[in-house]
Amino acid sequence: MRKSSLFFAAILIMAALMPASAFAKMTNPVDAWNRHFDTWLVVAVVVWLVVTVPMLYFLVKYRRSSRDEDGVYIKGNTGLEILWTAVPTIIIALLGVQSWRVFNTYREVPQDAYEVRVDGFRYGFEMIYPEGIKTINELRVPVGPVKLSLSSRDVIHDFALPGFRIREDMLPGRFTYLWFYADKPGEIRHVYCAELCGPGHSLMQAKLIVMKKEDFNAWVASKKGVEGSASLSQDIRGKELIKQCTGCHSLTGERITGPTFNGLFGRETLLADGTKIAVDEAYIKESIRSPKARIVDGYPPTMPPFNLSDKEVDAIVAYLKEIK
């Protein structure tokens, strides 16, 4: 029975891998994921070979030689059929157990994790830190375990952090969570939205910056100081706030979901009701406060209203004037 011996080889490989992978103590889910994936990969290749090699062999060996030739009258073999029911069941059970353990490490958040709240919106992420700081499309965390509490302001999004082998959906009206172990400082990893959220879906990306503890504290202190005082220049503030808009409005002249911001100020816009209007401060403010009041011709009325203070709107308008 060449096939059954192959199966047992597969079992042996599994057995050899299991103790190392499933029962080792782990702190970083990334390592657990990598090992789990490698185990699967070995099993997958073995299974693939067990199917493909005999198939090719039979196709060559038993190809029809004469017109009226029949095959051998074999209708089954209970022993073999039990074998290829039982062995896959065992392999799958072992993989399942390993997966369950890996999954648990993902869901059990360490006590000392630094917690950040992240809100998804079309099309960006807003990070809200425990210290009261907010950033858009840029997540800064100190080295160590980090927990993210995820939610959404409109449709379903997903916070995907492939560098840390983790993702979780962001749902309106409730919180979900994930955690990861930020092992070393650096600005390295992509953050994607992985749940279809509209035409700007593939533009909804952010970056993650892992900082040494003391650098992170310094950053927090500097941010808090500036945020509190009125000294933050309007320009910097506008630049930050506008990140909420660039998923739909390009700065370069390209058409995305909405009209481009490039050269917005002072241009003539054709509205859906056929009237023309010169873009000025009042119009931009109205567009932000009540986007549905006047709709630009040829665009869908999908711009959401934003909850911004007067100061923030001023900052945006000031910044928009500069984009040409």
Q: For binding to ligand HEC (CB under 6 A), which residues are involved?
A: 122, 244-245, 247-249, 257-259, 264, 269, 279, 284, 287-288, 291, 295-296, 299-304, 306, 316
Nearer Cβ to another protein (173/231): 173
Contact 248, 200 (CB under 8 A): yes
Cα dihedral sign, 147-202-238-275: negative
- Distance in angstroms (rounded) separating the CA atoms of residues 248 and 203: 9
Contact 223, 140 (CB under 8 A): no
- Distance in angstroms (rounded) separating the CA atoms of residues 83 and 85: 5
Contact 266, 320 (CB under 8 A): no
Asked if 19 interacts with another protein (CB under 8 A), we say no
H/E segment holding residue 19: helix 2-22
Going residue by residue from 68 to 107, which x/- string records binding to Cu ion, judged by CB under 5 A? ----------------------------------------
For residue 285, the minimal CB distance to ligand HEC (Å) is 9
Among 58, 207, 235, 271, binds another protein (CB under 8 A): 58
Among 302, 308, 314, 318, binds another protein (CB under 8 A): 302
For residue 313, the minimal CB distance to another protein (Å) is 24
- Within residues 172-211, the interface with another protein by CB under 8 A covers 172-174, 176, 190, 192-203
Q: Which does 72 bind (CB under 5 to 8 A by kind): Cu ion, another protein, ligand HEC, none?
A: another protein
What residues have CB less than 8 Å from 50, skipping those under 6 apart? 3, 6, 7, 10
Query: How many of the other CB atoms lie within 10 Å of CB of 40?
Result: 13
Q: Which does 192 bind (CB under 5 to 8 A by kind): Cu ion, ligand HEC, another protein, none?
A: another protein
- Within residues 127-166, the interface with another protein by CB under 8 A covers 154-156, 158, 160-163, 165-166
Asked if 70 interacts with another protein (CB under 8 A), we say yes
- Distance in angstroms (rounded) separating the CA atoms of residues 73 and 296: 75
Asked if 193 interacts with Cu ion (CB under 5 A), we say yes
Rg (CA), the chain: 29
Among 8, 16, 24, 89, binds another protein (CB under 8 A): 89
Asked if 59 interacts with another protein (CB under 8 A), we say yes
Which parts of 167-233 fold into alpha helices (H)?
213-228
For residue 155, the minimal CB distance to ligand HEC (Å) is 10
